[in-house]
Amino acid sequence: MKEKKVVHHFPLPYLGHRIMKTSLAVFLCLAIHGILGFEGMAIESAIAAIVCMQPQIEDTKKYALDRIVGTVLGAGWGLLFLLFFSFFPSLPDHMMIVYFLMAVGVMITIYSTVVLKLTDTAALSSIVFLSVVFVYPAVEAPLLLAGERIVDTMIGILIAIAVNVIELPRKKRENCLFFVRLKDLVPDRYARVDSGVMTFLNRLYQDGAKICLVSKWAPAFVLSQMELLETGVPAIVMDGAALYDFREKKYLRIVDMEKEDAAFLCRTLKEMDLGYCVYAIRDTTTLIYRQGHLNQAEEQEYRIMRRSLLRNYVDGFYTKEDQVAFIRTIDTKERIDRLEPEIREALQGRYRIEKRKQPQYKGYAGLYFYAKEATVENMKEWMLKNDGSVDQGVDILPAEGHYDVKRDAVHLLHKVYTLYEPLSFMK
């Protein structure tokens, strides 16, 4: 049997289909002008092709007619301004006035697109307007000039449509499982995923891409962040302690603590006068048991989180029917830093321990305790081993350097798209 492995992709941005199609459209625009010896401005065709190229074929078709109307509108205003200029023979001696009138013309052109509800074509209309009037005063036939600019722009629009309609040779990699960290799609665990990111992600799912979301938090957080999620692929939650199916609303796998280890940990935390929460799973339900003296941060989080129907808080102790996924304690950063070495020594390496900042609670930190085998990497390997439809895992990670979730999340999903449906000659 072929060994399955997780591959970490190269962090440089990938060359997207839209970039390649835009480049091809520009080349065709320039080539047509060169081959036919057309006396118009090839740059106008190239600009129109760039502006009209859309990510989706349907968008290009939808906007094409608007672009054509906008082109005629911009050329029309340009023609009117040239005719207006012709009534003032001495105007070329006062070019600053001409430039001011050109700027007014841009304003009128844009406002016309607003009146006609063609705001998407405002930029192209303005470009066409300027291309008509900017040759002033070296113009002899304003009507012919406006007509040439319309033809130039139409060439670019038609080429953009033709190139975008053409499907480049590509093949879906249905044997790949893509791992995407939720923290790379949303600023924090209390925020919702941006609607544009959500739309793109669901489009990938609908197209058949196998994308596994990876989160440090319980399913309730993921569901509150991504209410319209349409995935059929289970997600790794609780920092690798569980695998959750959002479609079926149930856990598929839990790497829980041994009862003896959980009990020992609870006693240790209690002896140190640390309040804690036990995250346990019973059947398809997540239960959060609150134990010990809970500080201000814990109580504040409880007041916020208990309102959600996705969370089940219990004051008391977990039962033998529960599977303990992890245990968490939150306290002041000063106290956590002071007690952490003592806690680690007392636990003697029986657990995987993660210390995390609590940005929503200034001055606090948290310790999270898992079974030693409960890791994200182990869960990934288990998924690859037990899913017969995939034989490779790909981690989708941000490029090195500054990463802004609000700005770069969509670009991160573009990496998934490029890897999922690569051009045949780039595989």
Note the pLDDT tens digit of each residue in 165-207.
776 667 888 899 999 999 999 888 778 888 888 888 988 998 8
**DSSP string computed for 9-42:** PPSSPP--HHHHHHHHHHHHHHHHHHHHT--S-H
Q: Is the pLDDT of residue 11 over 50?
A: no
At residue 127, what are phi and psi to the nearest 5 degrees?
-60, -45
The dihedrals phi and psi of 245, each to the nearest 5 degrees, come to: -95, 110
**pTM (2 d.p.):** 0.69
**Hunting for tokens 């919702």 — which residue is that?**
192
Least confident of 9-13, 15-19, 85-89, 419-423: 9-13
pLDDT band of residue 300 (cuts 50, 70, 90) is confident
Establish whether domains 176-247+382-426 and 259-372 are of one fold: no
Q: Which CATH architecture has domain 176-247+382-426?
A: 3-Layer(aba) Sandwich (3.40)
pLDDT at 289: 93
Question: Cβ distance 325 to 256 under 8 Å?
Answer: yes
Cα distance between residue 271 and residue 400, in whole Å: 43
Contacts of 313 (CB under 8 A, 6+ apart): 288, 290, 302, 305, 306
Domain locations in the chain as residue ranges:
17-165, 176-247+382-426, 259-372
For residues 6-17, give the mean pLDDT: 53
Residue 181 pairs in a beta bridge with 214
Q: Where are the alpha helices (DSSP H) in 186-235?
A: 195-206, 219-225
pLDDT at 62: 63
pLDDT above 50: residue 358: yes
pLDDT in tens, 62-77: 667 777 888 899 999 9
> Other C-beta atoms within 10 Å of 129: how many?
30
- Secondary structure string (H, E, C) spanning 97-129: HHHHHHHHHHHHHHHHHHHCCCHHHHHHHHHHH
- For the segment(s) 259-372, the CATH number from 1.10.490.10, 4.10.520.10, 3.20.20.140, 3.30.1240.10 is 3.30.1240.10
Does residue 125 contact residue 146 with C-beta atoms inside 8 Å? Answer: no
Residue 54 or residue 267, greater confidence: 267
- Quote the CA–CA distance of 350 and 368 in Å, as a whole number: 13
* Least reliable range by pLDDT among 49-53, 247-251, 263-267, 327-331: 49-53
How far is the C-alpha of 369 from the C-alpha of 415, rounded, in Å? 33
The per-residue pLDDT for range 270-287, each reduced to its tens digit, is 999 999 999 999 988 899
| Average pLDDT along the chain | 85
Does 302 score more than 90 pLDDT? Answer: no
pLDDT digits (tens, 9 = 90+) for 148-163: 888 888 888 888 888 8
Higher-pLDDT residue of 140, 115 = 115
Contacts 24+ apart (CB under 8 A), 287-290: 287/312, 287/314, 287/318, 287/322, 288/312, 288/313, 288/314, 289/314, 289/315, 289/316, 289/317, 289/318, 290/314, 290/315, 290/316
